[in-house]
């Protein structure tokens, strides 16, 4: 990696606003890395080279004319396929749409207003249905740490683009772990925000109560920086979060002495965490104790989220599938999933939403005794690619269980939760833990994650292995 490609978002902004680096140079470096690395990794479904060069030139002209730089001035950023970017087709990871979006999604508009340059769209499995970035249309996206392994999903292309330095930051989405799972597989920091923290406009929701968009980054500070740009609601949003504290400010302050409970008990019965992940939680618990926190093992008494999660999963996919231009072009497994979800009528969906409130109340009881919950991020090591080859909806769902075993509950509950890197395992692949916060309390997670990052810096990908 070159010196420039090693620069994170905050450092790129410092250079572009200080005149040490032009936005055009930052974009050309990003495009060069995409051209060099992506053919073997498949992070991007579309690269907007000409559009990005023009946008970067406009950023430079604005600054040269005395204009004020935005908080993301000149930063190349990639966008997951499910998010609208004006002039490109919102594919949802497949071939069922062909008309380009007329306008940017609200979060893309906010990124541009902050000075970011949109450089392309990243791969995902169709509709983000499963936590492995593989599809008939897009093929297989590979983990740069070991190309025989998956980067996770569904924001797998986003994770690979950031992990390899193709871009300093990129936007993903999380409806059952899809920010945290690929972050854990690729050695990134990925925080799922509180439900309703980030607008879903032009759509009123993302998989009803389950989903939210957010960045994957190489540092805690970068995540906070991007979130402070994209957070906030519009009138049409179905969900709204509380609290106004700057996440950048939170990431730069000490967290204070926290009560931290840890557990390796999975939410999903029958799933056993890999011993590498168990050790990671135990090692992190010791580190947090050494940092002055009150740390103890707890039993979270997890509620079963299945009755709330499954109907919304089906309803989310059916809602998106109903809106595509060519239903017949959807993948066979997607059409099977659509059929299997026919029992989720609006009445069933609304019942599941009421169950969501009950699950959230039960899940949040643990925060009566702790401030933060520490768990594994995923149960398995990143599996070999081809995880979804030749399997239907039911088998794909079973194969997804180890990936979502610790993550999906917090989509139902709505709480913020972050995948935090903690080194690499004996297999050479990244290891991560999950930190879960109280409702509306991303700030504590940013403060604590930054403290962990400083005390135990995590490795970054440095080239083919």
Would you call 30 a catalytic residue per the annotation? no
- Distance between CA atoms of 419 and 425, rounded to whole angstroms? 16
- The candidate with the shortest Cα–Cα distance to 102, out of 121, 86, 81, is 86
Respond yes or no on whether the N-terminal peptide bond of residue 77 is cis (omega within 30° of 0): no
- Distance between CA atoms of 202 and 199, rounded to whole angstroms? 8
Would you call 80 a catalytic residue per the annotation? yes
Would you call 223 a catalytic residue per the annotation? no
- Distance between CA atoms of 333 and 181, rounded to whole angstroms? 22
- Distance between CA atoms of 69 and 59, rounded to whole angstroms? 8
- Distance between CA atoms of 156 and 452, rounded to whole angstroms? 25
Task: Kindly give the pairing relationship between strand 417-424 and strand 430-437.
Answer: antiparallel
Which of 154, 183, 223, 360 is an active site residue?
154
Which of 80, 121, 155, 223 is an active site residue?
80
- The candidate with the shortest Cα–Cα distance to 89, out of 374, 81, 460, 320, is 81
- The candidate with the shortest Cα–Cα distance to 86, out of 125, 112, 123, 115, is 112
- The candidate with the shortest Cα–Cα distance to 337, out of 307, 309, 316, 308, is 316
Which of 135, 178, 223, 449 is an active site residue?
178
- Residues noted as catalytic: 80, 154, 178
């Amino acid at each position: 990696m070159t010196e420039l490609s090693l620069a994170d978002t905050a450092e790129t902004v410092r250079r572009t606003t200080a005149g040490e680096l032009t936005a055009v140079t930052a974009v050309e470096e990003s495009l060069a890395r995409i051209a060099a690395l992506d053919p073997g990794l498949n992070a991007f479904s579309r690269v907007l080279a000409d559009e990005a060069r023009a946008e970067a030139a406009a950023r430079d002209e604005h600054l040269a004319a005395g204009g004020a730089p935005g908080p993301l001035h000149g930063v190349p950023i990639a966008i997951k396929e499910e998010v609208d970017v004006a002039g490109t087709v919102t594919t949802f990871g497949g071939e069922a749409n062909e008309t380009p979006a007329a306008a940017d999604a609200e979060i893309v508009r906010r990124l541009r207003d902050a000075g970011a340059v949109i450089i392309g769209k990243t791969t995902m499995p169709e509709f983000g249905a499963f936590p492995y970035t593989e599809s008939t249309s897009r093929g297989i996206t590979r983990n740069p740490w070991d190309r025989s392994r998956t980067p996770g999903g569904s924001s797998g292309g986003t994770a690979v683009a950031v992990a390899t330095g193709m871009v300093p930051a990129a936007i993903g989405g999380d409806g059952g772990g899809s920010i945290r799972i690929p972050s854990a597989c690729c050695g990134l920091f990925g925080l799922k925000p509180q439900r309703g923290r980030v607008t879903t406009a032009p759509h009123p929701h993302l998989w009803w109560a389950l989903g939210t968009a957010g960045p994957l980054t190489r540092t805690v500070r970068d995540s906070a920086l991007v979130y402070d740009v994209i957070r906030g609601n519009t009138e049409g949003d179905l969900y709204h979060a509380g609290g106004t504290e700057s996440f950048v400010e939170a990431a730069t302050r000490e967290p204070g002495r926290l009560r931290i409970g840890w557990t390796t008990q999975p939410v999903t019965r029958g799933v056993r965490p890999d011993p590498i992940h168990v050790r990671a939680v135990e090692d992190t618990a010791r580190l947090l104790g050494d940092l002055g926190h009150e740390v103890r093992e707890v039993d979270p008494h997890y509620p079963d989220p299945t009755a709330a999660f499954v109907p919304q999963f089906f309803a989310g996919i059916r809602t998106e599938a109903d809106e595509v231009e060519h239903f017949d072009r959807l993948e066979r497994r997607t059409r099977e999933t659509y059929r299997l979800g026919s029992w989720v009528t609006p009445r069933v969906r609304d019942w599941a939403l009421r169950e969501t409130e009950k699950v959230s109340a039960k899940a949040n009881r643990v925060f009566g005794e702790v401030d933060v919950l520490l768990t594994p991020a995923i149960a398995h090591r990143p599996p070999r690619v081809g995880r979804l080859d030749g399997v239907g909806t039911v088998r794909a769902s079973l194969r997804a269980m180890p990936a979502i075993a610790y993550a999906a509950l917090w989509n139902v509950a709505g709480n913020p939760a972050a995948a935090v890197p903690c080194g690499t395992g004996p297999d050479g692949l990244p290891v991560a833990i999950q930190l879960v916060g109280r409702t509306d309390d991303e700030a504590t997670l940013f403060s604590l994650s930054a403290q962990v990052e400083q005390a135990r810096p995590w490795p970054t990908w440095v080239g083919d292995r």
